[in-house]
Structure 1
Amino acid sequence: MTGMKRYAAGAVVAVALITAPTSAYGAPSHRAASASAGPAAVTALAAHAPARPAARTAPTARIVAPGEHVAEPGGAEFWLTPEGKHWTTPDDPEPQFRSVVDGNIDLGTPGVSAQSEGTAAGHWTLSGLYWGGKGTASRVTVRTTAGTLHAKLLELAGDPGWGVWYVSTDVAPGQDFSLRHVVVRDTVGRVYSRLDLS
């Protein structure tokens, strides 16, 4: 019986020796520090840990349902259907339309269209279609004689191969105002499509 007790005690010691190092190696370093040095060590480790940069996601187009109206702050409204772009402006409440299915646009070749409509008070609504680029459209820069503007994007769900950009601005009444170029970039900054007017 004494031999059996001795054997059992030896097995317990052997198990303790085998499992103890495994537990120590498996513990994260901050836990090991807290077990040996207390809460102060954990605080010190946290203070010296490198800060992780916040993940930044490039913007993409707002996805809208067919016929869903989107109001621009200056009073224009835009909506998309599978056939193309529809819009109204404060000075022209009659709906206007630009087709993407009438054969005037080759969706396989990158391109941008542009319409600009101004009021006597100097409020301008700029908009257009973009299509055919590689990647995901993310940002639109619109250069005008009055400065550079950053447009918003709208697309239908799925992968239509086209979308709408729009932006508005106010200029002094009578000031010369015209578009110079429109550049659409993808989520990694490459040119998706562009339009040069001068």
Structure 2
Amino acid sequence: MTRIPKYLAVVAVTAAVAGTPALSYAAAQGTAAHGPVTRTVPLKTVVKTTKRAGARKTAPTPRAVAPGEHVVAAPGFEVWLTPEGKYWKSPFMDEPGFRSVVDGNIDLNTPGVSMQAEVGDGHACLSGIYAGGRTTASRVVVETKAGIVRGRLVQLAGEHRWGAWYATSDASTSDPDFVTQVTVYDTKGKVYARLKP
């Protein structure tokens, strides 16, 4: 019994002097004929394991959709894109809405974000277009009087000049100033475009 602690102390001192990290453990008495089992973990393996454990996740990018593909944001709330612009339908609308990206009202070369909102029955259906950023859009944060809402981004497959965002929120009011700010961030966490209605 006294031989195992002495052996472990020798391994620890040897590893410290050699500058090599060592992982040592003793086998249960009677299982190893030649004393404790010792395993050395090379420094490179330890570093690689540490890097993997602390690896940073890749920032999300907009969901790629086909022209006319409907994305269901919530029951009765849908968004779809065509090369001409964004369509949306909410439970509070009789007909789908449309926002053009080809009529000259949106400059696809200047960073910007728009917003359309329908409020009713204590809920808000929010959507808009983002365009003109120099980087890749990653996420959208909508600030409302009820709190922060995180939305989603969609983009036509192969289109990098513009896309659409959508979100839902609780809304106990029909106040037109319910939304106080919409911010689209890029994959580096910087502001892609911001709207203060």
TM category (shorter chain) comes to 0.7 to 0.9
Query: Partners of 2:139 and 2:37 in 1: how far apart?
Result: 47
- Equivalent positions of 1:72-111 (< 5 A) are 72-111=73-112
Spell out, residue by residue over 1:73-118, the C-alpha distance to the aligned partner (whole angstroms, 9 max, x if none).
2430010000000011112252110000001011111111001101
Structure having the higher helix fraction is: 1
Spell out, residue by residue over 1:112-156, the C-alpha distance to the aligned partner (whole angstroms, 9 max, x if none).
10011011x211101100000111000111111111111100001
Residue 175 (structure 1) shift: 7.3
Paired residue for 2:39, among 38, 41, 64? Answer: 41
**What's the TM-score once normalised by structure 2's chain length?**
0.73
- Equivalent positions of 1:1-198 (< 5 A) are 40-42=38-40, 44-45=41-42, 49-50=46-47, 51-52=50-51, 53-119=54-120, 121-172=121-172, 174=173, 176=175, 178-197=178-197
Q: Secondary structure at the match of 2:39?
A: helix
Instruction: Give yes or no for contact 1:74–1:168 (8 Å, CA) kept in 2.
Output: no
Query: Partners of 1:158 and 1:40 in 2: how far apart?
Result: 56
Q: Which runs of 5+ in 1 are unaligned?
A: 1-28, 30-37
Alpha-carbon spacing, 1:137–1:39, altered in 2? closer, same or farther (3 Å): farther
Query: Partners of 1:93 and 1:76 in 2: how far apart?
Result: 12
Q: Secondary structure at the match of 1:155?
A: strand
Q: Which runs of 5+ in 2 are unaligned?
A: 1-19, 21-35
Aligned residues: 158
Structure 1 runs (4+) greater than 3 angstroms displaced = 174-177
Alpha-carbon spacing, 1:151–1:40, altered in 2? closer, same or farther (3 Å): same
**What's the TM-score once normalised by structure 1's chain length?**
0.72
Q: Secondary structure at the match of 1:49?
A: helix
Larger C-alpha radius of gyration, 1 or 2?
1
